[in-house]
Amino acid sequence: MPELYVYYRAKSENAALVQARANYMQAQMARALGLPCFLKRRPAEKDGCHTWMEVYPAVPDGFEERLQSAVKEAGLLELTEGERHTEIFEDRSACA
């Protein structure tokens, strides 16, 4: 199954709120789908913003649509500066 990475920027002054909303949203997704979720943030800010990264390993088909709904419901879009960028990666390791 592919891994999904989502990154976006949010004002540094909203860091606690972004973290709370993203953690809540990811906990809901983890419970509903039984998959792990990770939230990361670059330590340094740039132009008054932090870059955030959501990581979803081994996502099933249709996951992106469910994620978009969950993000909207959690109110994360109103805290995002610009777009949420989505990248999908597939494991190509011979050991996997």
Q: What CATH number is associated with residue 23?
A: 3.30.70.600
For residue 14, what are the contacts with CB-CB under 8 A and spacing of at least 6? 79
**CA angle, 30 as apex, 41 and 18 as ends, to 5°?**
30
Residue 75, in any domain of the structure: yes
Residue 96, in any domain of the structure: no
pLDDT tens figures, 8-63: 999 999 999 999 999 999 999 999 989 999 999 999 999 999 999 999 998 998 89
Count: domains in the chain: 1
* 2 secondary structure, DSSP code: -
CB-CB contact of 77 with 25 (8 Å): no
The dihedral sign for the CA sequence 74, 45, 37, 65: positive
**Which residue matches tokens 């709904």?**
69
Which residues does residue 51 pair with via DSSP β-bridges, in sequence order?
A: 9
The structure's pTM equals: 0.90
**The pair of three-digit structure tokens given for residue 81, joined into one six-digit string:** 């500066």
pLDDT tens figures, 13-28: 999 999 999 999 999 9
pLDDT at 96 over 60: no
